[in-house]
Structure 1
Amino acid sequence: MRRAAPALAGYAAVRLLGLAGLALWAAARDTDPLVRLTARWDSLWYARIAESGYGYTVRLPNGDVHSDLAFFPLLPWLERGIAAVVPLSHAHAGFLVSAVASLAAAWGIFAVADLVLGRRAGVCAAVLWAALPVGIVQSMAYSESLFTALAAWSLYAVLSGRWPLAGALALLAGLTRPVGLAVAAAVWAGAVASFVRERSASTADGAPDGPRDLHAVRAGLSPPPRGASPWPRALGMLLAPLGAAGYVLWVGHRTGRGLFGYLDVQAGWRNGFDGGVAFARFVAGLFVSVPGALAGTALIAGVLLLGWLLLAGVRARLPLPLLLYAGLVALLALCASSYFGSKPRLLVPAFPLLLPVAAAAARARPAPAAALLGLAAAVSAVYGGLWLTGSGPP
């Protein structure tokens, strides 16, 4: 905690600035900022599940069927548990979960970046994650903060060779969001890579005996000490996919559609994986007017920036589990046929994409780095308040 204190203080400062920005925009528009954080959009669905369980469905005039089975259960479970022991509504309990989970996520992001890039980069990474343009989502009664906390600490456990812990946290991440399978994939990739490194080391003269050497950590191939039991790693691999797979199978059983049940539920929300076709059509449709063309150009630039950040991570030799996790989160966000407005927040958990920027900020002189982070925090506060009191996240 002492080592992470600057990162947590920086994170909290940026998020408090964001909440202050939301309060100012809400006052200007005569709306309640707490309602925007706890009782709008998906937070209503989570609170309803926490209060009454699954089974609520809305049939829209256009034929769409919105079922609460689309929402994974861990956040509603926590909301229900908290509301049962403290005098909070389920929605406000969700806000409390996000507040605590966002700090845990910032700590986990710092821990990963500190392990791979050093302490200054860890502090910068936590602050950059707080200062995302849609960082206000981290303070909502949504599942992004909870999922990112579980994912970050699972990845840290992978990099430090704590396989049962990595698998258990991946299991919980899989009960939080469908993209939890990206965490499970990272656990599997790290476990296989560590096994390959262990086998190579066992045949090399003078190979290191422990998993903590810097090269192993940076390569994401941290094996257990020679002679250690392989069962902890196997247990981690076994646990990792059980959360997401278990919920999907339960939905299939409940709907009577087997493996296709959850896909049917998502189709009712017009969600699915189409390889980015819907997103490409949306962007192309913007180029019918000058303002739309500017927006479309900005979106294309944003996608290219994501690709550049991932490539920068490869060039920086970030550990394989981090690259695989970030790549899968970005791929699922951009290539899903979901509402375009949801894509920015779906990218919030992809924190490893920020690590090359954090490393550059850590190498820079303190004054320019602080100015850059401060500017990002100010932009996030202004945009987040404007966005949440306007169209907001779907």
Structure 2
Amino acid sequence: MDELDGVADVDDAQRHGLPPLRSGGPPTPTRMMRLRAALRRALPALIVFAVMRLTAVAALSVWAVHVGRHPRTVLGMEWDSLWYIRIAHDGYGTVLPGPAGSGTVYSDLAFFPLYPALIRAVGTVLPVGEVNVALALSWIAAAIAAAGIYAVGELVYQRRVAVALVALWGVLPQAIVTTMAYTESLMTAFAAWALYAALTRRWLTAGLLASLAGLTRPNGIAAVAAVLTALGMHAWRCRREGRPIGRCAWPAVLLAPAGWSGYVLWVGAKKGSPGGYFAVQRRFGSAFDFGHYTLYMFKHLMLAKASLGQYTAAAVVAGSVALFILSVLDRQPLPLLVYSATLIGMALGDTHFFTSRPRLLFPAFPLLLPIALALSRTRFRNVAVVMPALAAFSLAFGVYLAMIAKSPP
């Protein structure tokens, strides 16, 4: 186990109910008992999440069969999923022409490598086809992400808040991506557990998980920023108190950004330019413009008719900003705030499909903590009205995104 000393002082640890921190040695029966107890506490949240996502798959499958399409094709062979499947099967090197006359060329180097690498590795052992493996990995990662989200919620607040947090994450309008061959589930799983490890001062674990999050998606760098923030707080506190930083902290500083920066540098080397990865992204229409395109879209939505996906995207973006302000007022731990702020900044500053903004914000689960806290304090009859309504909209909107919308989820 890593050396555990840092982000919070002893009083903070006791206030959040953290377990006694020890280092070294194999797992003891006490630790196994703690693990089983943690799983029992998280079980209601995981059951709620599983029911919601399985219901979504069932609803989408019924609609797909009704219109003459195979559910597996809808879930695993649309939009970005095709790129990941192709990379898993053939490796990198595919380029496709853009719209006629545009002169645009799309390259698969825009897609980070961990998810297709896992598809290929598991598919080699279990030859059931890349699509089936991709979907299985996404579903398993979603369950692991839900467990990590619960762990963070329970650590920062308490069990009722953690259960509400997982339930809210599972009924977001864009939650359909957890059942598709997309990378959001995998990235959120790594990020959630990286945040938990950072908040409980398991530095090497936090650095490794942040590195894997950064190797999964471009916005995985949010987990890197959060872990580095936690490490910086730890170093500042140790210096102020005149105690050593610890032998595991410095390696974690180098490990956390290794996945994201390693892939970006590798693409740059292949393209013969340090900014080669960002040039590839620009070919897809994705660049950082400090929010000019987002503001243009909000203006457009006020002056002209738009699609349901665009209006929902605008609501999610505006809601995310409002929830971030509430998160700051609630004095969430700084690593969580940095994680959410990085994801919001990347989503608002991107010039790609506006309707994809909710998906870019999907891993930002700490933004839901203010709502989860409110739900945990309200009467059950109110929760019994709010949650089914959110679930119904999530199911309907998920079917719309996957089956009807003309733009990617």
The TM-score with structure 1 as length reference comes to: 0.89
Structure-1 residue corresponding to 2:40: 2
Ranked by relative contact order (alpha carbons within 8 Å, sequence separation 6 or more), the top structure is 1
| Contact 2:310–2:354 (Cα < 8 Å) also in 1 | no
Q: Counterparts of 1:74 and 1:317 in 2: how far apart (Å)?
A: 34
Amino acid at match of 1:14: M
Q: Counterparts of 1:124 and 1:298 in 2: how far apart (Å)?
A: 22
| Contact 1:179–1:332 (Cα < 8 Å) also in 2 | yes
In the superposition, relative to structure 1, how do residues 295 and 11 fare at CA in structure 2: closer, same or farther (>3 Å)? closer
Structure-2 residue corresponding to 1:138: 178
5 Å matches for 1:66-215? 66-202=106-242
Amino acid at match of 1:374: P
Q: Counterparts of 2:307 and 2:48 in 1: how far apart (Å)?
A: 37
Amino acid at match of 2:59: G
Structure-2 residue corresponding to 1:315: 329
| Contact 1:26–1:32 (Cα < 8 Å) also in 2 | yes
- Residues 71-127 of structure 1: per-residue CA shift (max 9 Å, x gap): 000000000011101132112211011010000000000000000010111111111
Structure-1 residue corresponding to 2:268: 252
Query: In structure 1, the residue corresponding to 2:248 is in which secondary structure?
Result: helix
| Contact 1:20–1:381 (Cα < 8 Å) also in 2 | no
Farther off after superposition, 132-141 or 362-371: 362-371
- Residues 33-70 of structure 1: per-residue CA shift (max 9 Å, x gap): 21111011111100110111100001222111110000
Amino acid at match of 2:110: A
- Residues 279-321 of structure 1: per-residue CA shift (max 9 Å, x gap): 22233234443x3499977765543322210011111111000
RMSD: 1.9
Q: Does 1:53 align with 2:97?
A: no
Q: Does 1:12 align with 2:47?
A: no
State the Cα distance separating 1:31 from its structure 2 match. 1.9
In the superposition, relative to structure 1, how do residues 179 and 297 fare at CA in structure 2: closer, same or farther (>3 Å)? closer
Farther off after superposition, 65-74 or 186-195: 186-195
In the superposition, relative to structure 1, how do residues 294 and 13 fare at CA in structure 2: closer, same or farther (>3 Å)? closer
Q: Does 1:239 align with 2:244?
A: no
State the identity as a percent.
Answer: 43
Structure-2 residue corresponding to 1:269: 284
Q: Counterparts of 1:16 and 1:295 in 2: how far apart (Å)?
A: 23
Q: Counterparts of 2:171 and 2:322 in 1: how far apart (Å)?
A: 19
**Quick one: which of 274, 294, 297 aligns to 1:282?**
297
Amino acid at match of 2:77: A
Query: In structure 2, the residue corresponding to 1:58 is in which secondary structure?
Result: strand
Q: Counterparts of 1:51 and 1:118 in 2: how far apart (Å)?
A: 44
In the superposition, relative to structure 1, how do residues 46 and 312 fare at CA in structure 2: closer, same or farther (>3 Å)? same
Structure-2 residue corresponding to 1:42: 80
State the Cα distance separating 1:333 from its structure 2 match. 0.9
In the superposition, relative to structure 1, how do residues 367 and 178 fare at CA in structure 2: closer, same or farther (>3 Å)? same
Q: Counterparts of 2:93 and 2:132 in 1: how far apart (Å)?
A: 22
| Contact 1:175–1:244 (Cα < 8 Å) also in 2 | yes
| Contact 1:251–1:262 (Cα < 8 Å) also in 2 | yes
Q: Counterparts of 1:250 and 1:111 in 2: how far apart (Å)?
A: 34
The TM-score with structure 2 as length reference comes to: 0.86
Structure-1 residue corresponding to 2:374: 360
State the Cα distance separating 1:3 from its structure 2 match. 1.7
Q: Does 1:32 align with 2:32?
A: no
Query: In structure 2, the residue corresponding to 1:3 is in which secondary structure?
Result: helix
Query: In structure 1, the residue corresponding to 2:408 is in which secondary structure?
Result: coil
| Contact 1:17–1:377 (Cα < 8 Å) also in 2 | no
| Contact 2:149–2:165 (Cα < 8 Å) also in 1 | yes
Q: Counterparts of 1:296 and 1:287 in 2: how far apart (Å)?
A: 11
Q: Counterparts of 1:296 and 1:45 in 2: how far apart (Å)?
A: 24
State the Cα distance separating 1:364 from its structure 2 match. 1.3
Farther off after superposition, 238-247 or 177-186: 177-186
Q: Counterparts of 1:157 and 1:313 in 2: how far apart (Å)?
A: 20
Amino acid at match of 1:241: P
Farther off after superposition, 144-153 or 326-335: 326-335
